[in-house]
Amino acid sequence: MSDSEKPKSSRWGIIINYCISIDRKCKSIEQHLGQCAILNILGHAGRPIAFLSIIVLMLSYMLGVDERRMQAENQRKAKHYQAWQVISAAHGKTGSGGRKDALQDLHNDGISLAGVDISKAYLPRLKLENADLSEANFSNAILYEANLSETNFRLAILCDTDLHDADLSDTNLQNTNLYKAHLTFADMSGADLKYADLSDTDLWFSDLSGAILTDIKGWQNINDISNAYIHGVKDPPKGFVEWAIEHGAFSNANREEWEKLKRKKRQEQEKKEQQK
C-alpha cells in the first residue's frame, strides 16, 4: 500500500508519534539548558508555545539552507574577484603588492592559475605545490625557497627568475623557457624538462636526479652545472652526461656525501651574506 493509500488515521498516528519524540528531546534539552534565557522565556509562556517555537525554528533553518548556500557561493566569488583584482593591479610592478596571498588563496580554492602574469614580482617562499601555472609568466620574478613541487609549468616563461633553493621536484617543465634562470640549490628531482630551454641557466648544486631531459635545448650553453647531482637522469641528449661531468656535475657519487657538501656550501654562502 502506497503512502497515498494509507488511512488518514494511520498517517496522523505517525505524525503524533514523531511530535511526541521531538517533545521528549525538547524536555531533555530544557533540563540541560534550563538557565538559557530564551528557554526561560518560553517556559513562562507554557510548554505548547515552546514546542511550537522550536518547530518553527527548525523549519526556518531548513528552508534557509539554499539561501545560505547561495550567500556562501557569492562570497566565494567575490573573494576570487578581489584576488584577481590584486594580481591585475600589481601587474609589471616589483614587490609583492598582495599577490602572494592572492595566488595562494586562489590555488587553495582550486582555481587554475594558467596564464597568470606575475613578472618582476617579489614572492619568496611562495607555496603553490600541485598548481596549474601552465603558460604563466614568471620572468624576472623572485621566488627563492618557493614550494612548487608537482606544479604544472608547461610552456611557462621563467626567464631570469630567481628560484634558488626552490622545490621543483616532480614538476612539469615541458617546453618551459628557463633562459638565465637561477636554480642554485634547487630541487628538480623527477622534474619533466622535456623540450625546455636551459640556455645560460645556473644549476650550481641543483638536484636533477631522475629528471626527464628529452630534447632539452641550450644545454651546451648552461652557465654553471658544477656540483649539480645528475644521477639517474632520464633520456638525456647524446653527450649530455659526459659534458656535465666534465663541467663538474656529480653522476654516481654517494648522495649522502653530496648532500653533506651541499649543506657545507650553503652555510658558507649564508655566512658571506651575513658579513656583507
What CATH number is given to the structural domain containing 147?
A: 2.160.20
Is 118 found in the same domain as 177? yes
Q: Give me the mean pLDDT over the 20-28 stretch.
A: 57
Residues 47, 113, single domain; the answer is no
Residues forming beta bridges with residue 193, ordered by sequence position:
none
The answer on 233 and 153 residing in a single domain is yes
Question: What is the pLDDT, as a whole number, of residue 92?
Answer: 87
Same domain (yes/no): 52, 100: no
- pTM metric for this prediction: 0.73
Residues 243 and 109 in one domain: yes
Q: How many domains does the chain have?
A: 2
Residues 25, 145, single domain; the answer is no
98 in the same domain as 45: no
Percent helix / strand / coil, the chain, rounded to 5: 40, 10, 50
If you write DSSP's letter for every residue of 19-57 in order, what string do you get?
HHHHHHHHHHHHHHTTT-HHHHHHHHH-HHHHHHHHHHH
Q: With a cut of 60, say whether residue 140 has pLDDT above it.
A: yes
CA distance 88 to 83: 9
Does residue 79 lie within any of the structural domains? no
pLDDT bracket for residue 179 (50, 70, 90): very high
Domain boundaries, position 51: 8-63
C-alpha cell at 144: 627563492
Statement to judge: residues 198 and 237 lie in one domain: yes
- Domain contains 242: yes
Same domain, 147 and 15: no
Q: Give yes or no: residues 176 and 128 share one domain.
A: yes
The model's pLDDT over 224-273, given as tens digits with 9 standing for 90+, comes to 999 999 999 999 999 999 999 999 999 877 888 999 999 999 888 888 87
